[in-house]
Amino acid sequence: MKTLLILGAGTAGTMVANKMAQHLDPVEWKIIVVDQEETHYYQPGFLFIPFGIYRPNDVVKPKRDFLPRNVEFVLSPIDLIEPDENRVRLAKDNRVIDYDYLVIATGTQIHPEETAGLKDNGWHENVFDFYTLEGATALSRFLKFWKGGHMVLNVVEMPIKCPVAPLEFLFLADWFFHQRGMRDEVDITFATPLPGAFTKPRAAAMLGDMLNRKHINLQADFNAMEVDHEKGVLRSYDEREVPFDLLVTIPTNMGAEVIGRSGMGDELNFVPTHKHTLQSEKWENVWVIGDATNLPTSKAGSVAHFMLDVLVENMLRHMEGLEPLPKFDGHANCFIESGFEKGILIDFNYDVEPLPGKYPLPGLGPFSLLKESAANHWGKMTFRWIYWNVLLKGGDMPFESQMSMAGKWN
Amino acid sequence: MTEKTAEAILESVEFNEDGYMVDPNAWTPQIAEAIARQEGIAELTEDHWKIIEFCRQRASESGAAPTLRQITSGTGISTKELFSLFPKGPAKKVAKIAGLGKPEGCV
Ligand SMILES: Cc1cc2nc3c(=O)[nH]c(=O)nc-3n(C[C@H](O)[C@H](O)[C@H](O)COP(=O)(O)OP(=O)(O)OC[C@H]3O[C@@H](n4cnc5c(N)ncnc54)[C@H](O)[C@@H]3O)c2cc1C
């Protein structure tokens, strides 16, 4: 009997388990999935929690419910991966699992301790993240009673998962304070290491313009060095100081520590991965998907979904002794919630930046690319249902894995 | 090197619209010194060179100029020091001086 071992049962690992269970003969193959958490978090929902749009209950479900019955689910921290021995060591009962194929889907986590003073004091008192359920929930409690002042949103360093989430947070914050009749009481600043609002030029110009119209100040090229609690400022390496009463931070994002411990990662513990096949650059029976890769595309659930078919096909080909196909093009597709029940949609890949147009049906939509619309907002809100009911189970979506130029204009 | 010779050296070098050299193979240490002057760094010290060489080495392996994080973890030089050697945006500044493209740390 052969073993396919999947590390991580988040968005990507769960999808892979479902797809591979459909393809592999259970007489020949055993599929094992390991994760340290019992709960599956719908992370895109964390964005809405600070503003009371979602509650914690809306974004959690048991992981086991989304895994096929013939897959063994092991609840344990992963201690060490030994790819030269085709072996993984778990913390629970010191269990050792030998594998024939390994899929790494351990995602990325935030590391506030990487920035001086960020986690010292004030953490979850007037300094919050919203990339964890605890952070988002603590922030919702804070915002309920906040009287206003300087709110600063800081991205410490790139890359981060869901690179549009900080912008969405700002747009929603602007809407939220408007709704409460206190927008004049709040001064909003966005401090980012990027040279502008976003990474890709066309989208950056459009989104930068939106920040302007919403009176959100931009501190670009801002590399955060430390939080000075005494003075109440965030300080950059080039000695700029931004005062805050409320600091919302996207701390340094890193791949799982076990990747670093096992000597399999880069300087941020992301796994060097073949850009188009999703095979590990070093071990041919190791495959990588989702946020855990070092690939230069967005770290997003939609990207993990576009990777899925390529990864599954290539692993199946490899099992038959065939060459993997270079089919992954870096396709990413992100709804950007822009407040006041509107949203923007962007669609891009390794080579083509986000362009205006209609999606997924050329000329028809219903979604508009690089433009605000109400349909885009409803797309975003429907995504939660699709996530739990279609996406995680590896079901078919009306989108192609590879990006298409149809319906777009330059 | 005088201001004039720096200009003369750069005259024959091709830059893209963002001010990065088009061809990393056309790079020479003299060009680096000339670009550095334009970027407000009067003299390149041993520490500067250590970083420039690291970036060129790294780029020749990966095809891309390294990010801030890659430079600090690769050279052991702290971010703070890096900012004092190459004020403002060190990753971009070193990439320029080292004749490499814009660092693509961000997607
Ligand atoms: C605020 C926010 C908003 C977002 N919005 C969107 C959006 O609108 N659209 C979109 O497409 N994406 C969005 N994303 C991104 C999306 O959630 C992630 O890209 C996606 O979940 C990645 O899936 P993954 O499987 O790679 O990682 P994850 O889903 O994070 O799964 C990784 C799993 O590995 C497990 N693990 C890690 N280390 C170990 C270990 N040592 N031992 C055992 N288990 C381990 C973890 O417990 C986890 O279950 C958002 C993310 C955030 C935080």
Per the CB < 8 A criterion, the answer to whether A193 and A234 are in contact is no
In percent, the amount of chain B with pLDDT more than 90 equals: 73
CATH number at residue A62: 3.50.50.60
Per the CB < 8 A criterion, the answer to whether A255 and A271 are in contact is yes
| Residue A294 in contact with ligand 1 by CB distance below 6 A | no
**Residues composing chain A:** 410
A62, part of any domain? yes
Asked if B68 has any chain A CB less than 8 Å from its own CB, the reply is yes
Asked if B24 has any chain A CB less than 8 Å from its own CB, the reply is no
Q: How confident is the model at residue A364 (pLDDT cuts 50, 70, 90)?
A: confident
Range A253-268 average pLDDT: 98
A329, part of any domain? no
Whole domain around residue A197: which residue ranges?
110-252
Is B87's CB within 8 Å of A238's CB? yes
Q: Whose CA is nearest to atom 6 of ligand 1?
A: A44
In percent, the amount of chain B with pLDDT more than 70 equals: 93
Per the CB < 8 A criterion, the answer to whether A177 and A203 are in contact is no
Boundary (domain end) residue, out of A295, A319, A343: A319
Q: How confident is the model at residue B63 (pLDDT cuts 50, 70, 90)?
A: confident
In this predicted structure, what is the pLDDT of residue B2? 54
Q: How confident is the model at residue B9 (pLDDT cuts 50, 70, 90)?
A: confident
A273, part of any domain? yes
Cα angle: A119, vertex A125, A130; to 5 degrees? 75
Q: Which of B25, B43, B61, B106 is catalytic?
A: B106
Is B89's CB within 8 Å of A221's CB? yes
Q: How confident is the model at residue A193 (pLDDT cuts 50, 70, 90)?
A: very high
Per the CB < 8 A criterion, the answer to whether A223 and A193 are in contact is yes
Q: What is the ipTM of this complex?
A: 0.85
In this predicted structure, what is the pLDDT of residue B11? 87
Looking at CA atoms only, how far is residue B67 from chain A in angstroms? Answer: 9
Of A4-8, A178-182, A280-284, B73-77, the range with the lowest mean pLDDT is B73-77
In this predicted structure, what is the pLDDT of residue B1? 52
Residue A267: alpha-carbon gap to chain centroid: 19
Q: Tell me, yes or no, whether A241 and A261 share the same domain.
A: no
Q: How confident is the model at residue B105 (pLDDT cuts 50, 70, 90)?
A: low
In this predicted structure, what is the pLDDT of residue B107? 47
Q: Is the pLDDT of residue A217 over 70?
A: yes
A116: which DSSP letter?
Answer: B
A41, part of any domain? yes
Asked if B76 has any chain A CB less than 8 Å from its own CB, the reply is no
Q: Is the pLDDT of residue A404 over 60?
A: yes
Q: Is the pLDDT of residue A410 over 80?
A: no
Q: Tell me, yes or no, whether A47 and A170 share the same domain.
A: no
Q: Tell me, yes or no, whether A165 and A205 share the same domain.
A: yes
In this predicted structure, what is the pLDDT of residue A275? 96
B106 is catalytic: yes
Long-range contacts of A172-180 (CB under 8 A, 24+ apart): A172/A47, A172/A48, A172/A50, A172/A51, A172/A53, A172/A337, A172/A339, A173/A51, A174/A214, A174/A215, A174/A216, A174/A339, A175/A51, A175/A339, A175/A340, A176/A51, A176/A143, A177/A148
Q: Tell me, yes or no, whether A231 and A140 share the same domain.
A: yes
Range A282-302 average pLDDT: 97
A388: which DSSP letter?
Answer: I
Asked if B79 has any chain A CB less than 8 Å from its own CB, the reply is yes
| Residue A167 in contact with ligand 1 by CB distance below 6 A | no
In percent, the amount of chain A with pLDDT more than 70 equals: 100
Asked if B88 has any chain A CB less than 8 Å from its own CB, the reply is yes
A362, part of any domain? yes
Question: CB-CB: which of B80, B87, B106 is closest to A199?
Answer: B106
pLDDT tens-digit profile of A83-140? 999 999 999 999 999 999 999 999 999 999 999 999 988 999 999 999 999 999 999 9
Q: Tell me, yes or no, whether A236 and A163 share the same domain.
A: yes
B104 vs A contacts (CB less than 8 Å): 296
Q: Tell me, yes or no, whether A248 and A272 share the same domain.
A: no
Q: Is the pLDDT of residue B34 over 90?
A: yes
Q: Tell me, yes or no, whether A188 and A79 share the same domain.
A: no
Classify residue A56 by burial, with Cβ atoms within 10 Å: 0-12, 13-18, 19+.
middle
Q: How confident is the model at residue B88 (pLDDT cuts 50, 70, 90)?
A: confident
Boundary (domain end) residue, out of A212, A233, A252: A252
A286, part of any domain? yes
Q: Is the pLDDT of residue A396 over 80?
A: no
Average per-residue pLDDT for chain A = 95
How many domains, in total, are found in chain A? 3
**Does the N-terminal peptide bond of residue A326 adopt cis geometry, omega within 30 degrees of 0?**
no
B79 vs A contacts (CB less than 8 Å): 223, 225, 237
Q: Tell me, yes or no, whether A98 and A119 share the same domain.
A: no
A327, part of any domain? no
In this predicted structure, what is the pLDDT of residue B4? 61
Taking CA atoms, what residue in A is nearest to B81?
A: A237
pLDDT tens-digit profile of A342-358? 999 999 999 999 999 99
In this predicted structure, what is the pLDDT of residue B69? 93
Is A268's CB within 8 Å of B69's CB? yes
Q: Tell me, yes or no, whether A96 and A7 share the same domain.
A: yes
pTM, rounded to two decimals: 0.94
A157 vs B contacts (CB less than 8 Å): 68-69
Helix (H, G, I), strand (E, B) or coil at A360: strand
| Residue A12 in contact with ligand 1 by CB distance below 6 A | yes
Range A236-260 average pLDDT: 97
A253 vs B contacts (CB less than 8 Å): none
Range B28-49 average pLDDT: 94
Taking CA atoms, what residue in A is nearest to B75?
A: A267
